[in-house]
């Protein structure tokens, strides 16, 4: 029997309905562990129930990951996992993460309607809190599943509203200690491969006029919180040469981070800056700067963070401030499975996509899963390279090409050519 073809039009329709239910004029509002995120999960469950996947075939693990299973003919064979994340950043886009979840649903839908089961189990995974938008810990659910979540790293973390991560988890009948043990259920040990579809979130594919591409891996990340302590004082009466302005030390460091990133052909971002006392009539006595550095190779990434921290300490000293820093989170550059990536590239090329795989500058759950399971990803071109914003979009033609390539890859990995 040939494998059933994925219905790309239905996948896109599901995405548009999800956007209608969980977004507004500012964009997607599926902040993880919140009410709208739970509504998104309810929508996913309803779509799964429509194709007969419900009850014990749908569960939520100790880290909040939703796992849905379509049983296959050979229940003892390693399962194929497909998925991504349904959570979004505040005012986010309609496709980020959700595309992969709805495409995974499309794979399950196609097989559930095929008249005979897939060769082996297919497992849909909607990972919890991939974005890390509330508490700063990206890939929360996938790292917990992979056994890499250290509760001490996020204990007591608060979101913008002051809610702690422990409180947010408790609202969903979860706990930080339980999440750290999510890997003990052994799900990843039962998988033969994991596939993920995602938008590129950058401009490369659109610039090349190409709809989709295989992905060879993810860049590594160093995320740090830097603090500068000077002396708060009056804006009008403190002479310029006597100032110990922590805000200027942070601002100068931000420019240094940009220089370091450019010098190493990586990327560097200073996305947060908090000043105290935070009034226009006073010098900042304290400044906190959030730094995110990324590179596809480990050695340049290590050089980047070393040089950035050295520059920050030097700048603080020159401005008579006290410097301190602490890592928020890090992940090494991740290479996906060479053979699986080659199969993804061949499928994508057949669909008219990019012949050579590309490296992802953004993080994905696939990066955590890849430490335990063979992984491949497919990217869909992003319009104007915009993501994490309401303007995020991809053309219907590119979405269709990417979804169909993803369905074909899943069929091939299962051992059946699409009919």
CATH code (residue 280): 3.30.70.360
Question: Is residue 251 one of the residues assigned to a domain?
Answer: yes
Same domain as 153, residue 73: yes
Bridge partners (DSSP) of residue 274 are 288
Place 419 in a pLDDT band, splitting at 50, 70 and 90: very low
Same domain as 118, residue 19: yes
H/E/C letters for each residue in the chain? CCECCCCHHHHHHHHHHHHHHHEECCEECCCCCCHHHHHHHHHHHHHHHHCCCCHHHEEECCCCCEEEEECCCECCCCEEEEEECCCCCCCECCCCCHHHHHHHHHHHHHHHCCCCCCCECEEEEECCCCCCCCCCCCCHHHHHHHCCCCHHHHCCCECCCCCEHHHHHHCCCCCHHHHHCHHHHCHHHHEEEEEEEEECCCCHHHHHCCCEEEEEEECEEEEEEEEEECCCCECCCCCHHHCCCHHHHHHHHHHHHHHHHHHCCCEEEEEEEEEECCCCCECCCEEEEEEEEEECCHHHHHHHHHHHHHHHHHHHHHCCCEEEEEEEEEECCEECCHHHHHHHHHHHHHCCCCCCCEEECCCCHHHHHCCCCCEEEEEECCHHHCCCCCCCCCCHHHHHHHHHHHHHHHHHHHCCCEC
Lowest mean pLDDT among 111-120, 135-144, 209-218, 410-419: 410-419
Judged against a pLDDT cut of 70, whether residue 10 lies above it is answered with yes
Same domain as 189, residue 277: no
Judged against a pLDDT cut of 70, whether residue 327 lies above it is answered with yes
Same domain as 347, residue 209: yes
Q: Which of 306, 331, 356 lies at the terminal end of a domain, its last residue?
A: 331
Question: Is residue 113 one of the residues assigned to a domain?
Answer: yes
CA nearest to 335, candidates 360, 354, 302: 360
% of residues, the chain, pLDDT over 70: 99
Task: Provide mean pLDDT across the span 170-193.
Answer: 97
Same domain as 291, residue 226: yes
Q: Tens of pLDDT along 276-295? A: 999 999 999 999 999 999 99
Question: Is residue 183 one of the residues assigned to a domain?
Answer: yes
pLDDT score at 328: 86
Same domain as 39, residue 75: yes
Domain range for residue 297? Answer: 220-331
CATH code (residue 177): 3.40.630.10
Same domain as 316, residue 198: no
Judge whether 413 and 343 are in contact, CB under 8 Å.
yes
pLDDT score at 301: 98
pLDDT score at 329: 86
Question: Is residue 259 one of the residues assigned to a domain?
Answer: yes
Same domain as 291, residue 210: no
The four Cα atoms 110, 111, 115, 120 give a dihedral, to 10 degrees, of 170
Place 136 in a pLDDT band, splitting at 50, 70 and 90: confident
pLDDT score at 349: 95
- Pick the more confident residue, 136 or 417: 136
Strands 267-276 and 286-295: antiparallel
Same domain as 399, residue 267: no
Judged against a pLDDT cut of 90, whether residue 37 lies above it is answered with yes
Cα→Cα distances 79→83, 195, 261, 406, Å = 13, 11, 40, 17
Judge whether 358 and 376 are in contact, CB under 8 Å.
no
Same domain as 280, residue 162: no
pLDDT score at 1: 59
Cα→Cα distances 280→232, 277, 283, 394, 399, Å = 12, 9, 8, 41, 47
Question: Is residue 258 one of the residues assigned to a domain?
Answer: yes
Question: Is residue 3 one of the residues assigned to a domain?
Answer: no
Q: Which of 331, 348, 381 lies at the terminal end of a domain, its last residue?
A: 331
On the 0-12 / 13-18 / 19+ scale of CB atoms within 10 A, 242 is exposed
Q: Tens of pLDDT along 349-405? A: 999 999 999 999 999 999 999 999 999 999 999 999 999 999 999 999 999 999 999
Angle at 350 between CA 213 and CA 403, to 5 degrees: 55
Task: Provide mean pLDDT across the span 61-77.
Answer: 97
Question: Is residue 419 one of the residues assigned to a domain?
Answer: no
Q: Tens of pLDDT along 329-340? A: 899 999 999 999
Question: Is residue 176 one of the residues assigned to a domain?
Answer: yes
Q: How many domains does the chain contain in total?
A: 2
pLDDT score at 416: 59
Same domain as 361, residue 291: no
% of residues, the chain, pLDDT over 90: 95
Judged against a pLDDT cut of 60, whether residue 325 lies above it is answered with yes
Average model confidence (pLDDT) across the chain: 96
Q: Which of 264, 298, 331 lies at the terminal end of a domain, its last residue?
A: 331
Strands 79-84 and 122-126: parallel
Same domain as 142, residue 86: yes
């Amino acid at each position: 029997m040939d494998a059933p073809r994925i219905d790309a039009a239905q996948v896109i329709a599901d995405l548009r309905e999800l956007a209608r239910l969980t977004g507004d004029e500012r964009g997607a509002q599926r902040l993880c562990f919140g009410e709208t995120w739970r509504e998104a999960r309810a929508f996913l469950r309803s779509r799964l129930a429509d194709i007969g996947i419900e009850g014990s075939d749908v569960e939520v693990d100790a880290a909040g990951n939703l796992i849905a299973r379509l049983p296959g003919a050979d229940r003892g064979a390693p399962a194929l996992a497909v998925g991504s994340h349904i959570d979004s950043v505040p005012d986010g886009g309609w496709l980020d993460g959700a595309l992969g979840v709805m495409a995974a649903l499309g794979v399950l839908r196609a097989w559930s309607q095929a008249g005979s089961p897939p060769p082996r189990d297919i497992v849909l995974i909607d990972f919890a809190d991939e974005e890390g938008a509330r508490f700063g810990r990206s890939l929360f659910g996938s790292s917990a599943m992979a056994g890499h979540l250290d509760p001490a790293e996020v204990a007591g973390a608060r979101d913008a509203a002051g809610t702690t991560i422990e409180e947010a988890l408790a609202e969903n009948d979860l706990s930080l200690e339980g999440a750290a043990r999510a890997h003990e259920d052994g799900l990843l040990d039962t998988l033969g491969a994991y596939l993920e579809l995602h938008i590129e979130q950058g401009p490369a594919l659109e610039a090349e006029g190409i709809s989709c591409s295989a992905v060879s891996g993810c860049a590594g990340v160093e995320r740090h919180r830097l603090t500068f302590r000077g002396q708060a004082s009056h804006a009008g009466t403190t002479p310029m040469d006597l100032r110990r302005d922590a805000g200027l030390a942070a601002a100068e460091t931000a420019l240094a981070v940009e220089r370091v990133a450019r010098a190493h052909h990586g990327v560097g971002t200073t996305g947060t800056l908090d000043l105290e006392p935070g009034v226009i009539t006073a010098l900042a006595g304290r400044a906190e700067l959030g730094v995110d550095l990324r590179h596809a190779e480990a050695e340049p990434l290590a050089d980047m963070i070393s040089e950035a921290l050295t520059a920050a300490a030097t700048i603080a000293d020159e401005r008579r401030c006290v410097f301190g820093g602490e890592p928020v989170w890090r992940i090494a550059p991740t290479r996906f499975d060479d053979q699986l990536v080659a199969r993804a590239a061949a499928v994508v090329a057949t669909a008219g996509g990019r012949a050579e795989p590309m490296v992802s500058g953004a993080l994905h759950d696939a990066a955590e899963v890849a430490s335990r399971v063979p992984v491949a990803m497919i990217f869909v071109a992003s319009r104007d390279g915009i993501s994490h914003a309401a303007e995020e979009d991809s053309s219907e033609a590119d979405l269709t090409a990417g979804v169909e390539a993803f369905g074909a890859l899943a069929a091939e990995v299962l051992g059946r050519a699409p009919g």
